Structure 1
Amino acid sequence: MPHVRANGIDLAYVESGSGEPLILLHGSNADRTQFDVFRPLLGEGIRAIACDQRDSPDSPCEPVGYDVFDHARDAAAFIEALGLREAHVMGTSYGGIVAMTLAIAHPERVKSLILGATAPSTAQFNAPDMAALRSEGPEVVARFMLGTVVSPDAIDNDPDLIAETKAALKIRDEASLARRMAAVAQHDVRDRLAEIKAPTLILQGDEDPLVDADTAFWMAERIPGAEVHILEGSRHGLTFQHRQRTADFVRAFILSQV
């Protein structure tokens, strides 16, 4: 797999297509492969580039703490290492946190911004009681985690989708997971959203158990000129169960910026 050296870290990436460069930033329990089934749906005219964040299985880093602004510096350096002055950037969930921080801290690298199923503060995520879930056993935890991404009906009736989703969810060692959770624990850019100058699209599922639609509209009111699209029936995994609808919105938005 190809890597590029960015901010002192070798980051793995994969790409498809040609045209407008789009950097895809994955969620917390995923890596670049989150977008394997999504990238081909973006169509002609878009060069879709999915990259790891530091501390991913194929992109390890020194076992020391880091924060979201370190992730943003990595992403900015990644864009530069590809020989690009700027790129469109899409992040979902944890990746959305990184994407909005990138747009604030390194605006010169972001041509347009797409935020999916995310929020400007960890206080705006509906965090589950994982201790209570774990007390009910690993099967309950596994079903809950899968159910945040896709609908319960899909879990029971769409084995192909479930196989694709499970393949994209990465089991991290406890130390890596703890570092990633610590990186976003203090995430709060609510008072800096007005600094985002890139054209912005916000995508949010109306059945997302982790981020609600009100948060998406709240965020859009504070990012100058931001658009919001609510995807009916979608949960947290916008690039999985309803990936074609998500891809259609993303493609139209990017090509409208050309």
Structure 2
Amino acid sequence: MDLATPAAGRITTATVRTGSLRTGGAALNWRADQVTTNVVLVHGSFDDHTSWDRIVPLLPHDITAIRYDRRGHSRSSAPAGRSGLHDHAGDLVSVITELAGGAAHLVGHSYGALVALMTAARHPELVSSVLVHEPPAFPLLADDPQGEPLRAEARAHVTTVAAHIEAGRQDEAVALFAEKVAFGPRWRELFPQPQRAVLAANAHTYLDQFHDPDHYALDLEALATDRVPITVTVGTDGPAAVRRCTQLLADRLPAATVETLTGAGHAPHLSHPDEFAAALARHLGRVRRS
């Protein structure tokens, strides 16, 4: 791996640093704020690193918050051809090794949570801990009496989302995904117009996710080994399918800590940043005491 910025771009002082990291044929745009304990923030579908803007100022002062645009999103490039969950996990490994000095705590939202969990399962030596909010592990809904109808409904919606994107109707795709799959009917309150433009500009990346046969892959056996401390957060007001996924995942990870964020939905870092930052601080405190 090579840094487009000098090797001295690694985070060693209390400053804001930005740069570009080349990995796996992609160039990832990244930003790091503050110092000491390295925390890498991984955004979800359609989004980019700016989705964490409300969280970073609320973090403890000893945190180095490293965030980046996943490949193909906003200012990060991607090689020709389809990219999948394994590619995103490989990128995260590069971010950890090149920017965080070889170990980091991971925070993932939605699809970014799947990226973080795959990385923890495959490279526990690089991952100090993981906090994830509502990973959309839809295969867990199969054969679940409560979850199977929710999975079928979600599948129908995302199929239409992909069709809209392929037809060039990005705004329609974003609206359908946001309202019916991820955030609910009040999604526009979470995403002012400039942020909606980001979602529309990144809509094409969702096709890779949609067509990836491993896009919801989780190695539950590896994650249940207790080698990496895991906290799973879930909102009380998010889409039923994603909440059920999270409940079933927590059942499969008996060592994980589960925190419910009352009043929050699928994007607490946007709707309830104080509560989400506090949950992260509690998570880090538990890890440090263990």
Q: How would you bin the TM-score normalised by the shorter chain?
A: 0.7 to 0.9
Runs of at least 5 residues in structure 1 that lack an aligned partner in the other structure: none
Counterpart selection for 2:39 from 6, 22, 31: 22
Counterpart position of 1:42? 59
- SS class of match (1:240): helix
Contact 1:25–1:96 (CA under 8 A) maintained in structure 2: yes
Distance 2:97 2:113 in 1: 20
Aligned counterparts, 1:141-220, within 5 A:
143-147=175-179, 152=185, 155=188, 162-163=192-193, 165-166=195-196, 169-172=199-202, 174=204, 176-183=205-212, 186-189=215-218, 191-192=220-221, 193-195=223-225, 197-209=227-239, 211-220=241-250
How does the TM-score come out when normalised to structure 2? 0.74
Alpha-carbon spacing, 1:186–1:22, altered in 2? closer, same or farther (3 Å): closer
> What is the deviation of 1:142?
5.4
Counterpart selection for 1:231 from 247, 258, 261: 261
Establish whether residue 64 from structure 1 lines up as the match of residue 81 from structure 2: yes
Distance 2:155 2:264 in 1: 18
Matched length: 252
Distance 1:154 1:191 in 2: 31
Alpha-carbon spacing, 1:207–1:173, altered in 2? closer, same or farther (3 Å): closer
- SS class of match (1:197): coil
Alpha-carbon spacing, 1:161–1:98, altered in 2? closer, same or farther (3 Å): closer
Contact 1:150–1:241 (CA under 8 A) maintained in structure 2: no
Distance 2:90 2:271 in 1: 31
Deviations 1:147-182 (A, max 9, x none): 466565684xx6x863575365352263x4322322
Distance 2:156 2:236 in 1: 18
Establish whether residue 52 from structure 1 lines up as the match of residue 52 from structure 2: no
Contact 1:91–1:99 (CA under 8 A) maintained in structure 2: yes
Counterpart position of 1:129? 157
Distance 1:73 1:138 in 2: 28
Distance 2:210 2:159 in 1: 15
Instruction: Read off the aligned partner of 1:247 and give its amino acid letter.
Output: A
Counterpart selection for 2:109 from 82, 92, 111: 92
Instruction: Read off the aligned partner of 2:212 and give its amino acid letter.
Output: A
Contact 1:149–1:236 (CA under 8 A) maintained in structure 2: yes
- SS class of match (1:225): coil
Instruction: Read off the aligned partner of 2:265 and give its amino acid letter.
Output: R
Deviations 1:108-151 (A, max 9, x none): 111000111213345646445257787xx988765554446656
Distance 2:233 2:211 in 1: 25
Identity of aligned residues (%): 23
- SS class of match (1:37): coil
> What is the deviation of 1:240?
0.3
How does the TM-score come out when normalised to structure 1? 0.83
> What is the deviation of 1:85?
1.9
Distance 1:10 1:16 in 2: 20
Counterpart position of 2:146? none
Distance 1:154 1:81 in 2: 35
Larger RCO (CA under 8 A, 6+ residues apart): 1
Instruction: Read off the aligned partner of 2:201 and give its amino acid letter.
Output: I
Contact 1:121–1:187 (CA under 8 A) maintained in structure 2: yes
Alpha-carbon spacing, 1:219–1:153, altered in 2? closer, same or farther (3 Å): closer
> What is the deviation of 1:13?
0.8
